[in-house]
Structure 1
């Protein structure tokens, strides 16, 4: 059985490689000695390392898996959608469906496409870039948090089912990261490079979960006094938030 803590010499597929975290992960995997890093993107630009990969398109996933599932040693899911809205905004239901489709069902579809081949070979590693907000809801983007909580539960379930077959599943739970998705968010942000470096560290160390940057302190606080953290985060609702606008509109 291969060492599931190794990156050097392995073939890596990063889904969501067109985003800031995905791009940083590709660079970090190359830097750690991966033999081949494939960039899974929804809209290819013609680069040699790109793989057309749309987690919401069954045909796209099937085509990618038919070509490559047997050769992928490390699968990283950095794809995601954040509508940046509260659960009572006017478009709340549409936003929630987009987020759950991408962040939960997309992750599940990716697992179905690539994990069985890893299980048959008896080795492999899967990394889910989740979010610390899977554990505590930020009201300004409540349905995004809910979709990431679903992804967290999926990560735990996949870890339990795949561990006896020699496949590791790692959850990465970063705080707000400095990407296009968080352009409208104020305050301190972790760099994509720091998230990627932490994923590499977790892979090499054999960790099941990793909490980079400020997420580490928040995780520790959640373990010590969850209600206090929930109250603290719950106060971060923008003054102009459209609470209950969907029910008041009529």
Structure 2
């Protein structure tokens, strides 16, 4: 069983929502240190103040490889990487005015994970293997057209997770994919449905990591959709396909 206690973690997109909850729940689980990363580290001041010396603010823009490389040079004690930073532009694929929303989502949601993983995999290896947690979405498995290009970017994250899980197994690095449904963050405000709190979702994610789950569904909606996708994927596709962009 993998333990969170004593780990040195790095969380991207840590200034709000699920990222902020990750910092809080990692500390509650006994992490020794948490590097909280955001484009503007000043937005992390409250987390640092509450962290009792265990939270360190770090400037990382996952769309800027230079900031990732700089962090990798400095944060050589990381043994738990949480690729949480993400963006949703609520754009369809055909209905979007241009490709800008899709390109932005791929840069953050896919290439951000891609670049962070490549930069920190050698560090994890040098620290005994370590853990990577990638925030996907239940939209990794079925497209929500109201989030058409976002869903495509999260499908790419799922595929990346499978590839890196295979590639990094030999160095002792476990790679976990997380596939939430609606979590009560800014991203989900447009969806009128029951939502799980960020902290409850993160507690479930960390429990899944500790028990060695490759694929983690951290909320009731995700679990129901997972089961429905296994039973009748075309029915789920038709249901989500009704959620068309405005």
TM-score (normalised: structure 2): 0.91
1:92 Cα deviation after fit: 4.1
The count of corresponding residues between Structure 1 and Structure 2 is 235
* Cα root mean square deviation, aligned: 1.4
Structure 1 stretch 140-149 or stretch 115-124: which is displaced more? 115-124
Please point out which of 51, 62, 66 is paired with 1:55. Answer: 62
1:186 Cα deviation after fit: 2.1
5+ long unaligned stretches in structure 2 = 49-55
Rg larger in structure:
1
1:167 Cα deviation after fit: 0.2
**Inter-partner Cα distance in structure 2 for 1:81 and 1:90:** 16
Structure 1 stretch 70-79 or stretch 45-54: which is displaced more? 45-54
Q: Is the contact made by 2:10 and 2:34 (CA closer than 8 Å) also made in structure 1?
A: yes
Please point out which of 203, 217, 226 is paired with 2:224. Answer: 217
Q: Is the contact made by 1:65 and 1:114 (CA closer than 8 Å) also made in structure 2?
A: yes
Q: Is the contact made by 1:85 and 1:92 (CA closer than 8 Å) also made in structure 2?
A: no
Please point out which of 159, 166, 170 is paired with 1:153. Answer: 159
1:179 Cα deviation after fit: 1.0
Q: Deviations over 1:55-109 (max 9, x none)?
A: 11111111100001x3101110110010011112343411000001111111101
**Inter-partner Cα distance in structure 2 for 1:113 and 1:101:** 16
Q: Deviations over 1:186-207 (max 9, x none)?
A: 2222211122111110121111
Q: Indicate yes or no: 2:243 matched with 1:236.
A: yes
Q: What does residue range 20-39 of structure 1 map to in structure 2 within 5 Å?
A: 20-39=17-36
**Inter-partner Cα distance in structure 2 for 1:121 and 1:37:** 16
**Inter-partner Cα distance in structure 2 for 1:188 and 1:16:** 24
**Inter-partner Cα distance in structure 2 for 1:120 and 1:36:** 18
Q: Secondary structure at the residue paired with 1:12? A: strand
Q: Which residue of 2 aligns with 1:89?
A: 95
Q: Which has the higher contact order (CA 8 A, sep 6+)?
A: 1
Structure 1 stretch 159-168 or stretch 38-47: which is displaced more? 38-47
Q: Which residue of 2 aligns with 1:248?
A: none
Q: Indicate yes or no: 2:13 matched with 1:7.
A: no
Q: Indicate yes or no: 2:161 matched with 1:164.
A: no
5+ long unaligned stretches in structure 1 = 242-250
**Inter-partner Cα distance in structure 2 for 1:96 and 1:228:** 26
